[in-house]
Structure formats: C-alpha cells, structure tokens
C-alpha cells in the first residue's frame, strides 16, 4: 500500500499528504436565482456542523452562473460537478470554485479536455475524477470482478490527465456494495499516490446508508486509505456531515467537535432523552471543541455518565440535574430543562 498520497489543495483544504480526512457532502437541490442568500445560510450551517467541502451539480450554464455567484458569498470550498459539457467546466473556472469534478472520458474530443486541464492548471483548481460502478465504460461493464473494473476505469481517466501533465487529481471509485468499494480503494491505493475520495454510493436512507457507509469507510481510514469522505444518504446533507465527522473522529482517534453521550431511554426515565437530544443535537454538534455532552434519562446510569462529561443533564426522580465536570450545578423541574441546559451550554 502506498504510504502517503500527494497533497492536493482544494481552496483552504488540503486533501492527501497525510492531512486529516476532510468531510464532504452535496447540495441536493438546483440553485435558483433569488434564492442564493438562503442557500448561503444553508452552506454556513453545514460548515458549522463540520462540512469541509460542498459539491453542487452543475448541469447547465445557468447553474454554473449561480454557483459562481454563490462561491463569492461563502467561505466554504465549493465543487462544481460537471458531467459532459466542457464549456460548463470552463465557465465554472472563471469563478472562485475550489475543485471541479469531471471525467475526461465524458468530455468527447481530446482538445476539450486539453482546454479544461489548461485552464484548471492556470487557476490552480484540482480535478476530481469520479468512477461509479453503475456507469463503467462499455468494455468494462461485463467484467466479472467489478472491483478491478472500477480501478481500471479510474486509471484510464487519470492517464488522460497525466498525459497532459495535470497532476492535481483526486479519484473516487464508488459502488453501492461495501465489499467492492473497499476492495477497489485498497487496490488503487496500493498502486498510486493519488488522494482518494471514498464512500459508498446510493447507500440508502438514513440508517441503512450510515451503516453501509461506516462499514466501508471506517476500515479504509484505519488502514490509511482515503483522504476525503462522503457519507451518501437519501437524507438531508446535515446528516451526511454529522456521520462523516463522527467517522473521521472515530478513525483518527481525535475529535474536533462535541461528542454526545445519550442513553437509549427506558421505562425508568423521568426525562425524555430522545426529544431533548433531537432538539439540541445540531446546536451541540456545532460546538467546535472536543467536549463531551451527556444526556441521560435517570439516576441508574445518568449521574455516573453525566459526571464524566464536560456538561451533562440527567433525570433524577421528578427533577432534572445538570452537571459540569462532575459537579452538580443546577437542579430544576423537567419543563425548565431546556432553559437551564441552554444557559450552562453557553458557558462551555
Ligand atoms: S439511563 Fe436510566 S433511563 Fe436511560 S436507559 Fe439507562 S436506566 Fe433507562
């Protein structure tokens, strides 16, 4: 296995070169003129949750223009996802876009790729090559081993850019199957020093998608394979970001945002941990410090867990207790729990 990938700069983020794996997601609706300010707010919200890079589908010139306008409104590195039209890629490169995703084989004549690569090199914008098992070239589609077929397809695309001297490349090889995704990425990593964007494509709805993605991404990251990740879900991008942040924290053993310890709740609970966690989780996850927040239902395990947290709340009979670093700081009625917890959280 190649020990370290080459570093590729994507706006303010470095992918590869031994840097911490970055977390990506994708915007899930077309951009509309007149709606850019609310999209910019949404982008900032994803950034607050730990999103490092955000990709947008850019199927036509209108979307390219809108993405360009958005890119100058936000700080987060934005990626233009272009499929076939080299003119859209060229237009996106007029804006402060951090990366484009395009497959050389989809652009048609070689001169179109030459134009795109030359402009990307001139602007210092890298290219992500993305190979999906569902859209392999015709001659690889019937290969019995889809893992090696995905790698062969990616290598073809890389070679086309390599011939032009373009090396700021990131590769993704995705399948909906966990095993072939893992195998393809391990194989590619053993042969090349190109940074890898890893993930399972079409992984499914929230629970299934998180399980499948974790089953593929976690072991790869543990082995040093994968420089940037996306958890693809049929769910809101905020869930993709939260799942990605958690996977990177687990695989690297280092956390940059809050960790929530919350009990599953049972008949003993004097305090609804589910509803409370649901109400507070986005605000807690937006704390960009490695703190632990405990939300526990009752005195059986509650005080013990809460005492070890930086801040904790637990049901205790008909009361709710709030702890800070092991000390009870407040006791209140359950209906006042949000107010009291919010005040304590603000002091973290
Ligand atoms: S902490 Fe209490 S309420 Fe929560 S699961 Fe454990 S016993 Fe049940």
**Are 93 and 163 members of one domain?**
yes
Residue nearest to atom 2 of ligand 1 (CA): 298
Instruction: Report the range of poorest mean pLDDT among 18-22, 117-121, 192-196, 274-278.
Output: 274-278
Residues 328 and 210 in one domain: no
Q: Which of these, 299, 323, 296, lies nearest to 311 by C-alpha position?
A: 323
What spacing in Å lies between the alpha carbon of 256 and ligand 1's midpoint?
A: 28
Q: Which residues contact 158 (CB under 8 A, 6 or more apart)?
A: 129, 169, 171, 192, 194
Cα of 301 to ligand 1 centre, how many Å? 6
Mutation test residue for ligand 1: of 260, 277, 301, the one with most atoms within 8 Å of CB? 301
Pocket test for ligand 1, best of 262, 277, 302, 305 (most atoms within 8 A of CB): 302
Instruction: Give me the chain's average pLDDT, please.
Output: 93
How far apart are alpha carbons 63 and 257 in whole angstroms? 33
Q: Which of 264, 268, 320 for mutating ligand 1's site (highest number of atoms within 8 Å of CB)?
A: 268
Q: What is the dihedral of CA 330, 332, 337, 340, to 10 degrees?
A: -40
Q: Which residue(s) pair with 78 in the sheet?
A: 54
Pair 173, 195 in one domain: yes
Atom of ligand 1 nearest to the CA of 298: 2
Q: Tell whether the model's pLDDT for residue 303 goes beyond 80.
A: no
Alpha-carbon gap, residue 38 to 48, rounded angstroms: 15
Last residue of a domain, one of 217, 252, 287: 252
1: in domain: no
Can you tell me the distance from the alpha carbon of 131 to that of 137, in angstroms, rounded to the nearest whole number?
10
pLDDT at residue 43 above 90? yes
Cβ 261 under 6 angstroms from ligand 1: no
**Cβ-contact 96, 72 below 8 angstroms:** yes
Distance between the two ends of the chain, CA-based, in angstroms? Answer: 42
CA 263 / ligand 1 centre spacing (Å): 6
User: Residues near 272 by Cβ (< 8 Å), separated by ≥ 6?
Assistant: 265, 297
Give the model's confidence band at 338: pLDDT under 50 very low, under 70 low, under 90 confident, else very high.
Answer: very high
Q: At what angle do helices 178-191 and 206-222 cross, to 10 degrees?
A: 30
Instruction: Kindly state whether residues 225 and 179 are assigned to the same domain.
Output: yes
CA–CA distances in Å: residue 134 to residues 27, 155, 259, 331: 21, 17, 36, 56
Kindly tell me the number of DSSP H helices and DSSP E strands found in the chain. Answer: 11, 15
Domain boundary among 209, 228, 252: 252
pLDDT at 3 over 60: no
pLDDT at 302: 67
Atom of ligand 1 nearest to the CA of 263: 4
At 146, which CATH number?
Answer: 3.20.20.20
326 lies in the same domain as 201: no
Convert the pLDDT of each residue in 240-269 to its tens digit: 999 999 999 999 999 999 999 999 999 888
The model's pTM: 0.93
Q: Answer whether 295 contacts ligand 1 (Cβ < 6 A).
A: no
3 in any annotated domain = no
CA distance linking residue 113 with residue 344, whole number of Å:
56
How many angstroms separate the alpha carbon of residue 229 from the centre of ligand 1?
34
Is 243 part of a structural domain of the chain? yes
**Selection from 66, 47, 109 nearest residue 84 by Cα:** 109
Supply the residue whose CA is at minimum distance from atom 7 of ligand 1.
Answer: 300
Q: Which domain holds residue 332?
A: 259-346
Q: For the residues of 74-125, what is the DSSP string, one character each?
A: --S-EEEE--S-HHHHHHHTTS--SEEE--GGGS-SHHHHHHHHHHHHHHT-
């Amino acid at each position: 296995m190649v020990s370290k990938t080459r570093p590729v700069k994507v706006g303010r983020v470095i992918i590869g070169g031994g840097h911490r794996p970055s977390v990506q997601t994708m915007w899930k609706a077309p951009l509309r003129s007149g709606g850019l300010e609310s999209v910019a707010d949404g982008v900032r919200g994803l950034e607050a949750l730990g999103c490092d890079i955000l990709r947008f589908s850019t199927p036509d010139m209108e979307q390219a223009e809108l993405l360009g306008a958005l890119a100058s409104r936000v700080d987060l590195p934005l990626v233009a996802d272009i499929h076939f039209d080299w003119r859209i890629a060229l237009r996106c490169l007029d804006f402060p876009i951090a990366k484009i995703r395009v497959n050389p084989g989809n652009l048609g004549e070689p001169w179109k790729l030459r134009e795109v690569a030359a402009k990307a090199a001139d602007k210092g914008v890298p290219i992500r090559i993305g190979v999906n098992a569902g859209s392999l070239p015709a001659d690889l589609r019937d290969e019995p081993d889809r893992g090696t077929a995905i790698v062969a397809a990616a290598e073809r695309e890389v070679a086309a850019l390599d011939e032009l001297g373009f090396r700021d490349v990131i590769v993704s090889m995705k399948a909906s199957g966990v095993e072939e995704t893992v195998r393809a990425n391990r194989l590619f990593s053993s042969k090349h020093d190109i940074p890898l964007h890893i993930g399972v494509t079409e992984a499914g709805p929230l629970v299934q998608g998180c399980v499948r993605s974790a089953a593929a991404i976690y072991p790869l990251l543990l082995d040093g394979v994968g420089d940037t990740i996306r958890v693809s879900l049929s769910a809101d991008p905020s869930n993709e970001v939260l799942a990605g942040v958690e996977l990177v924290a687990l695989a690297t053993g280092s956390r940059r945002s809050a960790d929530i310890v919350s009990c599953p709740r049972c008949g003993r609970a004097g305090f609804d941990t589910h509803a409370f966690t649901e109400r507070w989780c986005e605000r807690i996850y937006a704390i960009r410090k490695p703190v632990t927040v405990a939300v526990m239902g009752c005195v059986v395990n509650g005080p013990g867990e809460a005492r070890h947290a930086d801040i904790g709340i637990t049901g205790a009979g008909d009361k709710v207790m709030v702890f800070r670093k092991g000390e009870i700081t407040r006791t209140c009625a359950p209906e006042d729990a949000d107010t009291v917890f919010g005040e304590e959280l603000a002091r973290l």
